[in-house]
Amino acid sequence: MGEEPGETGEHRGDRVRYVAAVDQDGYFGKSVAATYDESSAEMFEPDVVNEVVDVLAELAGHGRALELGIGTGRIALPLSRRGIPVHGIDMSRAMVARLGAKPGGDAIGVTIGDFATATVDGQFSLAYLVFNTIMNLTSQQAQVDCFRNVAAHLEPGGRFLIEVMVPELRLLPPGQDVVPFHTSATRWGFDTYDVATQSMSSNYVEVSGGRGSYRSIPFRYVWPAELDLMAQLAGLRLHERWDGWNRRPFTSESRQHVSVWEKPIG
């Protein structure tokens, strides 16, 4: 992306802005970015994306939208095509480079940094975190900081939306801490849980050309009520919570939720 690790600077007419000393792309470096869209192909299906963008465009109204963890632009690009000005924050230069190379990517400003603390000029009518990305913040403090950071960026009446899984602890028999989520002839995926610390990891084993590879990404799972308390600490209040993007009611059987908090007016 044109800057050495640890430097700050402006790039591409201020489309990409560096605000922190970032010396790596975390767990989403060049090798992951190169295959991210293909490995998550089901999440890029038009029906999936359009359902998300319909909700976000409605919540953004005539204002600006801030995407935390913008990645390769799965949601930001189609939202921008709806006429919503979108700005993103992401730590991975490799993922952002993929976004910038796509049609329309040059119209989306991106700040390189930690979305729990990185700041952006101006105010937004909507900020959002989708596809479990809140769990990339691996401590409770960082998640609280994220809510406070978002609240500072929202205009009065602005909304903060999170899409995230409900921790699948009910699938764990006594003494077990692993939940498999994908099995095939060439790829295995499983989550590990530590219920004492709310830490977890998603782990991937792949075999290609007779050779195997292993990748592990740490997360911190978080409960809906815990998110509500984080919102309260940041001065936000729960506006709506659904089972998913279809806006069905959230129940005790829901395995995910889409939650929206609002910054009070006045």
Do 77 and 98 belong together in one domain?
yes
At 120-137, the pLDDT tens digits run: 999 999 999 999 999 999
Do 29 and 60 belong together in one domain?
yes
- Using alpha carbons, select from 249, 259, 253 the residue that is nearest to residue 222: 259
Do 33 and 89 belong together in one domain?
yes
**Percent of the chain beyond pLDDT 90?**
83
At 169-226, the pLDDT tens digits run: 999 999 999 999 999 999 999 999 999 999 999 999 999 898 999 999 999 999 999 9
> Does 1 reside within a domain?
no
Q: Output the six-digit token pair for 61.
A: 């109204």
Do 150 and 188 belong together in one domain?
no
Do 188 and 67 belong together in one domain?
no
> Does 202 reside within a domain?
yes
Do 70 and 153 belong together in one domain?
yes
Domain coverage including residue 191: 169-218
> Does 3 reside within a domain?
no
Do 238 and 178 belong together in one domain?
no
Task: Find the CATH number of the domain harbouring 73.
Answer: 3.40.50.150
> Does 5 reside within a domain?
no
> Distance between CA atoms of 250 and 254, rounded to whole angstroms?
6
Do 156 and 253 belong together in one domain?
yes
With a CB cutoff of 8 Å and minimum separation 6, the contacts of 221 are: 135, 165, 167, 193, 198, 199, 200
Do 66 and 90 belong together in one domain?
yes
With a CB cutoff of 8 Å and minimum separation 6, the contacts of 82 are: 53, 57
> Does 214 reside within a domain?
yes
User: What pLDDT is stored for residue 32 in this prediction?
Assistant: 85
Do 178 and 126 belong together in one domain?
no
> Does 145 reside within a domain?
yes
- Using alpha carbons, select from 107, 98, 111, 49 the residue that is nearest to residue 78: 49
Q: Taking the CB of residue 204, how many other CB atoms lie within 10 A of it?
A: 16
Phi-psi region of 120 (alpha: psi -120 to 50; beta: other; left: phi over 0): beta
- Using alpha carbons, select from 91, 39, 44 the residue that is nearest to residue 70: 91
Domain count, the chain: 2
Q: Taking the CB of residue 229, how many other CB atoms lie within 10 A of it?
A: 12
User: What pLDDT is stored for residue 5 in this prediction?
Assistant: 25
Do 25 and 101 belong together in one domain?
yes
- Using alpha carbons, select from 170, 119, 129 the residue that is nearest to residue 149: 119
> Does 87 reside within a domain?
yes
Q: Taking the CB of residue 36, how many other CB atoms lie within 10 A of it?
A: 20
What stretches in the chain show pLDDT beneath 70? Answer: 1-15, 17-24
Do 153 and 196 belong together in one domain?
no
DSSP 168-235: -GGG--TT--EEEEEE-SSEEEEEEEETTTTEEEEEEEEEETTEEEEEEEEEE---HHHHHHHHHHTT
> Does 244 reside within a domain?
yes
CA–centroid distance for 148 within its chain:
16
